[in-house]
Structures are given as C-alpha cells and as structure tokens.
Chain A
C-alpha cells in the first residue's frame, strides 16, 4: 500500500486532507470512490461519458462543500453514500425528470447505498455565463502562468478564504495591513486588465 493510500484510509482523514488543500487527499478521494459510484450509475445508464462527468462534478461539489461550509456527513452516512446520493439525484435531473430511476443489481438494491434527500449540486450555474466572468477567469490564469505573487495572494483570500493575518504569515508580509494593501493593488491591477480587454 502506498504512503498516500495509507494516509487516507478513512473518511475523516480524507475530509481533513481535502479541507487543507492536500492534493494527495483529492486524488485519494477521487480514486477510492470512483468504481463503486460508476457501477452505481451504470446500473441505470450506459452513457459512459455522462456518468464520468457526473462523478467528477460530484467530487467537485463535495470538495467545495468541505472547504466552504461547516460540512459534516450525517449520521450513518459515508463519503461513498454522499457521492452516490448526489450522483443518483443528478441522474434523475438529467435523464429521468419524470420517472424515478430504478437501480438494480449488486448491492444497489439495498437503498442504503444512497439517500434521496441529499441533492447538493452547484448553485452558481446561472452566474457564470457573463463575458466579464470569462475574461476574469482568463486573466487569472495568465497571472498564474506568469507565476505572479498576486495570483497566490488573491487565491489565498478569495478562494481559500484565509484571513489576512494568515496570508501575511504564509507569504511573509510584515503584517496583515501590508498584505491587505498589496492584495488591493493586485485586485486593482486585475480589474484594469479585465476592463481593458472588455473595451477592446
């Protein structure tokens, strides 16, 4: 068994690792539950590509929930059960709006494999279509590719929701205010680049 697999054997350690932005925990989460979840979905649908997409999205939803909310798995629930549940509900949404999917075969007949009441999914789908959003995304990627400190600084704040004190500590600023002033400059620079591109 690899060191990573040893580290992330149970749900708690995976959740903790994902919450701490540990890449290995994400890999472990993705691989550990994939086969079962795919088989679970395959018991109803054959569209391999869609099933793969749903699984990947389900993992992302789970990761975002772990990182952004005070997320806890309910009693008697496991990561596998949670993933099955949101995959199950997605299948319902995408393929079978009227009829409830009938999952058959293997242990899927045991409905403890999923919980119909867990139907978490992306709730920002309608917010992501603007041209400005696309440009911001692209500019951020450029920032990242250039290896700019700004990208890290903004990511710590806007994505990882870290406090300015923590960011100052992580990025070696003398204090939180300095970090905040630098963050604002980065934000403004990005804003100018975005506006320039939108004007063109």
Chain B
C-alpha cells in the first residue's frame, strides 16, 4: 500500500495545477522514485472518471493506496476542476474537459458557472464604482457659490498683498520703467458694499460662476504670462537696450484702482423681498398665510460695468485678450439671464431692470406674478425661463377679484 507524504501531496497538487507541460514534467521527475509511475495517471482518471459518486471515489482512492488522504484528494480534485473550468472559459478545451462536459459532471459545471458569476460580479462592482466616480466628478464640477466666493477672496487677498508690496517698492524707487503690460489684472479688494450672492440654482450658479472662474483662471494665466514676459524681458535686457514706456506711479495706481473697483462689484446685486402670496378667499378656517421670497437681480447694471471695462482701454487687447474674452463671456451669460426668472417654490428670482414691485398670487397651485400692469404665470424651474404673460380672461378675473378682496 502506498503512503503519501504531505510533501508528495503538495507535489501532486502542484502537478495538477501546473500551468505548462514543462512544469508538469519537471514535477513528475521530482516526485520520489518509489512513487508509482502510473499513479498520477490513475489519479487523473480518478478525478475525471469517478466524478460525483463519493463511494466510487473513495473505493478507487483506496485501491490506489491513497485511502488516508481522501479529503486532500478531494481538495486537489476541486482545485483541478477550478483549473479546468478556467481553461474552458478561456476557450482552451483539453481532453479532460471534453470528458467532464460529456459526462455532464455537476461539480465541474458548477465550477464553470461559479467562475462566470465571479467574473461578472467583478465587472458589476467595477461598474458601480465607476458610476460613483462619475458622480463625484460631476459633483466636483458643481461649484457652490460660497466656494467660488471663498476661492476668489483667497486668491485676490494674496495677490493684493503682493501687489501692495510691489507698489511700496515702486514708491521707494520713484518712477518705474516697465514694458507693457503694466498691471496685474483682477486684483480685487474684498467687496464691502457688494451684496453677498445667494444662488439657489445650479444653472444660475454655473452661469455666473463660469464668468467669475473665467476671470480667476484667466487672471492666473495672465499673471503667469506676465511673469514669463517679465523674465523674458529681463533676459533680453541683459543683452541689449529695449525700448520701454515710462509711466509714473500715480498713473499706475490710478489704473490699478480703477480695475480693482470694477472687479469689486463682481457679484450680481439683488434686492430681496418677502411677499405674501394672495389666494382666493375660502370659507371656514383661514389657511396659513403663505410667503415667498422674491429676489430682483439687476443684470444690466453689472453688464454696463463690465462693458465699461472693455471700452475704457484699461486692458490691452493683445496682451489681455484672455481676460477680455472672459469678461465678454460673463457679459453674455448675464445677458442670457435678462428678463427671465427662476422659481424653486419658495424663492422667485427675477432678472432684469426697472422691475416694479411684484405681487404674487396663487390659483389652484399655479403661481402668478403681477409686475406693473401685466400678469405672468410662473412655474417651478431649475433653468431660467422667460415670462409668459397671462391672457386667459377667467384667470385675470379671478386675480382681479383677489386684488379687490385684499383692498
């Protein structure tokens, strides 16, 4: 009777899971000489021919002298099946696989389906991970107004400090001799009078943010170019005399102050009103009074300030073109908002100029706003909408009635 040692078992295990013929051959040779020559072949037959019948398996194993190691042999068999199943799924069908398939060996078929599911489970998990990642990427793109403001302040504060330092140095030297461009653009003091923007909708945030971020980025681009230009200039000056423009400190400071002042108004101002929503009178207990916040955003004022910045010649079109483009983009974004509204259900944002004080009505869950003589229907929306004037006589009559009752 043959007694298998643990080492031999491991060798057998390795023999069965070896990936190449060469390895198998080497392992076969390394197994001790008294190990019966045909044992491995018998064992292979055991795994392939005595499949799902436990009694038969044990009987064959005992006849091969491996009765003490039934559990280990079963484990090796299982491992071998896994190996074959992987080969099968990779399209490499050897004779053993064909035999197992022909015999519809349940253990083998189970292993094949388990591996398929395992592969698919990894794929599905990866898909979920990717989806999460995409959502995070989208989230990262959604810049909250507070973050923009914070970032803006942070950048501008440090730039301002640097600029003051530069100005102090200029004061100390008197007249400066610098090549164009002279100014670092976008250095803005923290706005003391600007109303803090409270944006409620992504679309709006992004429209405004695009402009502001554009300014920040292009400022950074410009600063970088400016610095580079400065370095290049220094290099050039080392070799030859360059024609330079002489500007005194007062002129420099005036230009800087002007740009700072313009950019200090970089937020869109609005007036906020808390208005009662007027409804049709009802009998019985009076319903709780509904209030909504109406924010009137003065778009054209901000547009005019930015347009002035474009026309007053403070920015050089050749050197400052990215900044000019950013300003133009911001103007376009603001103009798109003009004469439109956003409504979240409790905050109504109206964009425009010369807006008369609105009055809000509600008829059967539909909101209406009177501005001047006209009445407009407003719906909940996350994208800016144009006002639609109400012409339905029944609705107008009902609103008239409400107004009469309120008087």
* Chain A 24-64 per-residue mask, 1 if CB under 8 angstroms from chain B, else 0: 00110011000000000000000000001000100110011
* CA of A63 to CA of B123, assembled, Å: 11
Instruction: Assess whether A92 is interfacial by the CB under 8 Å rule.
Output: no
Is the Cβ of B122 less than 8 Å from the Cβ of A158?
Answer: yes
Counting contact residues on chain A (CB < 8 A from B), the size range is 35 or more
Count A-B pairs with CB separation below 8 Å.
Answer: 78
Contacts of B126 in A (CB 8 A): 159
In-complex Cβ contact of B130 among A60, A132, A155, A180 (8 A): A60
In-complex Cβ contact of B122 among A27, A52, A154, A180 (8 A): A154
Instruction: Assess whether A136 is interfacial by the CB under 8 Å rule.
Output: yes
Contacts of B122 in A (CB 8 A): 140, 154-155, 158-159
* CA of A130 to CA of B82, assembled, Å: 21
Instruction: Assess whether B205 is interfacial by the CB under 8 Å rule.
Output: no
A-B contact pairs, 30 of them (CB 8 A): A27-B137, A52-B138, A56-B130, A56-B131, A59-B134, A60-B131, A63-B130, A64-B123, A124-B120, A127-B120, A128-B120, A128-B124, A132-B117, A136-B117, A136-B118, A137-B121, A140-B121, A155-B122, A158-B115, A158-B122, A159-B119, A164-B19, A176-B19, A177-B19, A180-B83, A181-B17, A184-B83, A187-B82, A188-B78, A190-B118
In-complex Cβ contact of A26 among B17, B82, B119, B130 (8 A): B130
CB distance from B106 to the nearest CB of A (A): 15
Which A residues form the contact surface with B (CB < 8 A)? 23, 26-27, 30-31, 52, 56, 59-60, 63-64, 124, 127-128, 130, 132-133, 136-137, 140-141, 144, 154-155, 158-159, 164, 176-177, 180-181, 184, 187-188, 190-191
- Top 10 A-B pairs, shortest CB-CB distance: A159-B122, A136-B121, A137-B121, A158-B119, A56-B134, A184-B79, A158-B122, A133-B117, A60-B127, A60-B130
Counting contact residues on chain B (CB < 8 A from A), the size range is 20 to 34
Contacts of A63 in B (CB 8 A): 130
B113 closest partner in A (C-beta): A132
Instruction: Assess whether B248 is interfacial by the CB under 8 Å rule.
Output: no
* CA of A132 to CA of B120, assembled, Å: 11
* CA of A180 to CA of B14, assembled, Å: 10
* CA of A31 to CA of B137, assembled, Å: 8
Instruction: Assess whether B114 is interfacial by the CB under 8 Å rule.
Output: yes
Within 8 A of A (CB), among B86-138: 114-127, 130-131, 133-134, 137-138
* CA of A182 to CA of B79, assembled, Å: 11
CB distance from A158 to the nearest CB of B (A): 5
Contacts of B119 in A (CB 8 A): 158-159
* CA of A136 to CA of B120, assembled, Å: 9
Instruction: Assess whether B292 is interfacial by the CB under 8 Å rule.
Output: no
Given contacts A176-B19, A184-B17, A188-B78, A59 and B130 within 8 Å (CB-CB): yes
Contacts of B78 in A (CB 8 A): 188
A141 closest partner in B (C-beta): B125
Is the Cβ of A158 less than 8 Å from the Cβ of B118?
Answer: yes
Is the Cβ of B117 less than 8 Å from the Cβ of A130?
Answer: yes
Question: Given A31-B137, A154-B122, A181-B14, 6 more contacts at CB 8 Å?
Answer: A26-B130, A60-B127, A127-B120, A140-B121, A184-B82, A188-B78
* CA of A13 to CA of B78, assembled, Å: 43
Instruction: Assess whether B18 is interfacial by the CB under 8 Å rule.
Output: yes
Instruction: Assess whether B23 is interfacial by the CB under 8 Å rule.
Output: yes
B110 closest partner in A (C-beta): A191
In-complex Cβ contact of A27 among B14, B19, B79, B133 (8 A): B133
Interface-centre pick from B130, B133, B138 (highest chain A CB count, 10 A)? B130
* CA of A64 to CA of B13, assembled, Å: 35
CB distance from A105 to the nearest CB of B (A): 17
Contacts of A155 in B (CB 8 A): 122
CB distance from A176 to the nearest CB of B (A): 6
* CA of A193 to CA of B17, assembled, Å: 24
CB distance from A129 to the nearest CB of B (A): 11
* CA of A124 to CA of B121, assembled, Å: 11
* CA of A170 to CA of B243, assembled, Å: 61
Contacts of A158 in B (CB 8 A): 115, 118-119, 122
Is the Cβ of B114 less than 8 Å from the Cβ of A191?
Answer: yes
In-complex Cβ contact of B14 among A127, A177, A187 (8 A): A177
* CA of A177 to CA of B79, assembled, Å: 12
Contacts of A187 in B (CB 8 A): 82, 118
Contacts of B137 in A (CB 8 A): 27, 30-31
CB distance from A195 to the nearest CB of B (A): 10
Contacts of B130 in A (CB 8 A): 26, 56, 59-60, 63
